[in-house]
Amino acid sequence: MELIVATGNAHKLLELAPALPGHRLLSPADIGLESFEVEEDGEDYVDNALKKARALYSLCGRPSLADDSGLSVHALGGAPGVRSARYGSEEGGSRLSSEERNALLLKRMEGAADRDCAFVCCLVLVLSADRFFVVQESCPGLLLEAPRGSGGFGYDPIVYLPRLGKSVAELTLEEKNRLSHRGRACARMAALLSAIEAAP
């Protein structure tokens, strides 16, 4: 199936493509929607992903896939959460870089004993105005005290996976696609897509 993905983030497309084999993933820009942008003001990941997927579908009328994801830190009441990409930015101001957001989060967590955290990913597939599918998965870990690894993006260098002894930024792409919040959500979505395509 050809899916239009509601993102301008090239990293997300790179991660999604091998995790959804057999499907062609295109960005809004690939189909001429250069300025596609949706305000992510939902209360949770499902709200944001559904809003983006529906907005994209209304513009292109083609199967539309949207992702909303973030990092939830237990000691911070779930923050940054749905504001992960905007964490620490002034309202109306420019966003901090990933490195700046990571540094700010580690500063706020300095000395905290509870380092439990989890990446969360919600994927929404809209096939028509009245037909959509939602999957949400998580990847629990521990917040490091300093970044480790050069792979991935966003908060990956500061989240440690104890069972692997690696930060998310130290995972291979194959490991990340299998174990990460987005990888797990993609596996669920791939199963759904197979069932949808097999249906009469």
Q: Which comes out higher in pLDDT, residue 45 or 153?
A: 45
Q: What is the pLDDT of residue 90?
A: 61
For residue 129, the one-letter residue type is: A
Task: Answer yes or no: are the C-beta atoms of 81 and 125 closer than 8 Å.
Answer: no
Strand 116-128 versus strand 64-73 pairing type? antiparallel
Q: What confidence tier does 3 reach under pLDDT thresholds 50, 70, 90?
A: very high
pLDDT in tens, 14-40: 778 888 989 999 999 999 998 888 988
Q: What is the pLDDT of residue 153?
A: 86
Provide the domain count of the chain: 1
Task: Answer yes or no: are the C-beta atoms of 104 and 83 closer than 8 Å.
Answer: no
The catalytic residue positions are 68
For residue 173, the SS3 value is: helix
**Average pLDDT over every residue of 117-130:** 96
pTM to 2 decimals? Answer: 0.88
**Average pLDDT over every residue of 92-103:** 86
Mean residue pLDDT of the chain comes to: 92
Task: Answer yes or no: are the C-beta atoms of 59 and 38 closer than 8 Å.
Answer: no
For residue 25, the one-letter residue type is: L
Residue 6 CA to residue 29 CA, distance in Å, equals 10
Q: What is the pLDDT of residue 11?
A: 75
Q: What pairs with residue 161 in β-bridges?
A: 166
pLDDT in tens, 131-162: 999 999 999 999 999 999 998 889 999 999 99
Residue numbers of the domain that contains 94: 2-198
Q: What is the pLDDT of residue 92?
A: 58
pLDDT in tens, 49-97: 999 999 999 999 999 999 999 999 999 999 999 999 889 886 556 889 9
Task: Answer yes or no: are the C-beta atoms of 125 and 53 closer than 8 Å.
Answer: yes
Q: What is the CATH number of the domain that holds 48?
A: 3.90.950.10
Q: What pairs with residue 133 in β-bridges?
A: 125
Q: Name residues whose C-beta falls within 8 Å of residue 106's C-beta, 6 or more positions apart in sequence.
A: 143, 144, 145, 146, 158
Q: What is the pLDDT of residue 91?
A: 57
pLDDT > 90: percent of the chain: 72
**Average pLDDT over every residue of 178-183:** 87
Residue 94 CA to residue 101 CA, distance in Å, equals 12
